[in-house]
Amino acid sequence: MNADINTLWAKLMIEEFVRHGADTFFLAPGSRCAPLTIAIARNRRAKVVQHLDERGLAFAAVGYARASGKPGVLVTTSGTAVANLFAGVIEAAMDGLPMIVLSADRPPELRGSSANQSIDQVKLFGDYVSGFTDVPCPTTEIDPAFLLTTIAEAVHGAGRGPVHFNCMFREPLSPDPTRAVDDGYTSTIAGWLESDAPYTDLRVPDHRISETDAAALARLVERHARGVVIAGAGAAQSNADAILDLAAAAQWPVLADVHSGLRFGPHADRTMGSPDLFFCSEPFIASAAIDCVLHVGGRLVSKHVLEALERRQPADYVVISALEARYDPVHRVTCRLSGVCPGAACRELLRGLTPRTSSAWPDAWKRARDTAQAGIDALLGEPHGWSEPALARNIAARLGDGHALFLGNSMPVRDMDVYAAASGADVLVAANRGASGIDGNIASAVGLGLGSRRPVTLILGDLAALHDLNSLKLVGSSGAQVIAIIINNDGSGVFSFLPVAGEVELFEQYFGTPHGLTFRGAAEMYRLDYFNAIDMMQLNDAYSQCVASGRSAVIEVITDRAANTELHGRLVDEVRKRVGAITVKS
C-alpha cells in the first residue's frame, strides 16, 4: 500500500463508507482530521461539501438527509469543532434522520492533560446518537478488518439516527512515506481490496405491519364513521396513494400538514388542506365529534390540533410512524405503531377493509375547507395584499414542478401550513421541526438542494437569517440554487402572538429584539444577487428573475410586526367564524 498507518487507516475508512453509499462528506477544515481530509480528497467517488462553520455544516447534512434519505458524513477536527455540531445532531436525532459524525481526536496520552484543542469527546452527544465508537489510534497491531466491520455497523446504525465515530490520531498527521506499512498488514482484507463491494453485506430488515395488527386496525377503522386521517411530517414519502385510498375507503377526510408530502403534487386535491383550518374552530370540532384519529407520519405544525384533542378525546387515536420515538404530546394516543412505513401500513389495512358507502361526513369537511379558503382569499386580497400570510400563499402558488421549499421556523412554516392553498406542482417541502429551532435554516436549505438536486426556495425570518449568516457562504459555494426570501420585520414576530406580548414595558427589548439591520451588505459580501421587494409585484418579478437565472439570491421583504399580528388575528377570526357555521352530519 506504500502508506503510513494514519494514511492507510483513513484511506480504508473512507473507501468503506463510500462502498456503503455514504459517499457525501461534509468537511470542515482542521489539522487533527488531516488524514481523513486527504483520504476524502483522493477518493474519486467521494463527494465533498466544504464549509468553514461546523454548526452550519451539520445543518447542511440535516437538509441533505431529509432530501436523499442517506447519511452525510460530517468530518471535523478535534475540540470545540465537534461540539459545534451538537445542534444539528439534535435536529437529526429528533426527526430520525441518518447522519454520521466522523470526528478526529487526540491520542490517549493527550486526553485529560490540558493539551491544546483537547476536550472530552467521548460520548459527547449523549443519547442523541444511536451509536458511538471510540476508534483507537491507527496501529498495525489491530486487524484492518476491524475498521471495515465497525464502519458497516455505523452505517447501519445511521438508519436510526446520528452515529458518532470518534477517531484518535497521533502525529505525524500528514502522509509520511518513510513510515510505510508492510504490504502484509492488509492480507486479511485482500479480497476486499480487489473488489468494489463493502466488506460486510448489510441486510436492512423490512419493517412491515403484521397481518394481525393490520386486521385489528381495519376492524377499528370500520367501527368509526366519524374518523379523520391526519398526515404529519413525511407521511407520504413512500406511498401517498395508499394513505389516500384508505381514507377514501373509510370515507374519512385527509388533513395534511404542510410537510406531509400531500399538500403539493398530484394528490393535493384529495386532501382538506391544513388541520389548523378546522381545529382552530371550537364550534366545528364540537359539531364534528371526531370518534377516531389516524395520525400517519411525524409531527404537526398546528398547535390547535393538539389543543383540541386535549379537550375532546376521541375514542381511538392511532399513530403510525416510521420513527421509533414516542409521539404523544398530549397523552391521547390509544395505539401506536412505531418503526413502520405509514404508506405500506395503510396499504395492508386497506386489503382487509370493507369500504364504507358514501356519507355526509366528508362532504361537511369539504364545505368547511372551501369556506375557509374563501375567507382567506377575501382578507388577503387588496388592500391587504402585502403581508406575511399573503407572501406564503403567493409563493406557494408560484412554485414550479421539480422545485423544493424549505421553511424557516417561527412564522414562515406556520403561515405556509395555514394559508397556502393546495398546489398540483411537484414540490418537495421540508422544515427543521425536530427541535424546531431557528438555527441552521440557511444551511439546511443548501443541504436540501444538494440531496434532492432541485432548486430550493427558502423562506425564513430575519432572526433566523442572522443566526445562520455564515451559511450564505455555503449558498454561494455549494452549487445548489437557493433563493432565500428573508422576511425582515426587525425582530421576532412569533412572540407577538404569545401572552408575553402583554408585558408592554419589557416586550420590545427582550422579546421583540429589534436589530435595525438589512441584508443587502451580507448578500454583497457573499457575492449573491440581491433584491429588495416592497410590494407583491416586486416580489413576483424578483422571484421570477431568480428562478430563470438559475443563480442563488437573497430577496429581502420588509414587513411590519404590529400589522402582521393584527392581520393574523382577523384571519383566524374569519376562519373560525366561517368554519364554525358548518353543521356536520354523519
272/238: higher pLDDT: 272
Average pLDDT, rounded, for the chain: 92
Is the distance from CB of 404 to CB of 448 less than 8 angstroms? yes
* Mean pLDDT within 184-204: 91
Dihedral of alpha carbons 58, 60, 61, 62, sign: positive
Domains of the chain in sequence order: 5-193 (3.40.50.970), 211-370 (3.40.50.1220), 388-558 (3.40.50.970)
Residue 127: the pLDDT is 95
Query: How buried is residue 119: exposed, middle or buried, by Cβ count under 10 Å (0-12/13-18/19+)?
Result: middle
Residue 385: the pLDDT is 65
Per residue in 155-182, is it b (16+ CB within 10 Å) or e — as a string? bbbbbbbbbbbbbbbeeebebeeeeebe
Residue 398: the pLDDT is 95
Q: Which set of grid coordinates corresponds to residue 32? A: 487533527
Strand-pair category, 316-321 with 456-461 = unpaired
What's the one-letter identity of residue 340? V
CA distance linking residue 339 with residue 331, whole number of Å = 19
Q: How confident is the model at residue 207 (pLDDT cuts 50, 70, 90)?
A: confident
E strand intervals along 302-421: 316-321, 335-338, 403-407
Helices (H) and strands (E) in the chain, counts: 23, 17
Residue 477: the pLDDT is 94
Q: What are phi and psi of 411, to 5 degrees?
A: -85, -35
Q: How confident is the model at residue 585 (pLDDT cuts 50, 70, 90)?
A: confident
Residue 493: the pLDDT is 76
Q: How confident is the model at residue 335 (pLDDT cuts 50, 70, 90)?
A: very high
Q: How confident is the model at residue 181 (pLDDT cuts 50, 70, 90)?
A: very high
Residue 323: the pLDDT is 85
Residues 6 or more apart whose Cβ sits within 8 Å of residue 78: 30, 32, 33, 103, 104, 105, 106, 117, 118, 119, 121
Q: How confident is the model at residue 97 (pLDDT cuts 50, 70, 90)?
A: very high
CA distance linking residue 415 with residue 400, whole number of Å = 19
Residues 6 or more apart whose Cβ sits within 8 Å of residue 46: 14, 18, 23, 24, 25, 40
- Grid cell 475540540 is found at 79
pLDDT at 478 exceeding the cut of 90: yes
State the virtual CA torsion across 90, 93, 99, 105 in degrees, nearest 10: 50
* Mean pLDDT within 105-132: 90
CA distance linking residue 389 with residue 417, whole number of Å = 10
Q: What are phi and psi of 436, to 5 degrees?
A: 55, 35
H, E, C per residue of 11-69: HHHHHHHHHCCCCEEEECCCCCCHHHHHHHHHCCCCEEEECCCHHHHHHHHHHHHHHHC
| Per-residue model confidence as pLDDT tens digits over 8-43 | 999 999 999 999 999 999 999 899 999 999 999 999
Residue 496: the pLDDT is 75
Look up the pTM and report it.
0.94
pLDDT at 383 exceeding the cut of 70: no
| Per-residue model confidence as pLDDT tens digits over 209-258 | 888 999 999 999 999 999 999 999 999 877 899 999 999 999 999 999 99
Radius of gyration over every alpha carbon of the chain, rounded to an integer in angstroms: 26
Residue 150: the pLDDT is 92
- Grid cell 369500504 is found at 355
Residue 1: the pLDDT is 56
| Per-residue model confidence as pLDDT tens digits over 518-571 | 999 999 999 999 999 999 999 999 999 999 999 999 999 999 988 889 999 999
Residue 586: the pLDDT is 64
pLDDT at 56 exceeding the cut of 90: yes
Q: What is the end-to-end Cα distance of the chain in Å, rounded?
A: 74
Q: Which set of grid coordinates corresponds to residue 274? A: 391544513
| Per-residue model confidence as pLDDT tens digits over 405-461 | 999 998 999 999 999 988 899 999 999 999 999 999 999 999 999 999 999 999 999
**Residue 442: closest CA among 415, 467, 417, 412:** 467
**By three-state DSSP, how is residue 222 classified?**
helix
- pLDDT > 90 fraction of the chain, expressed in percent and rounded: 76
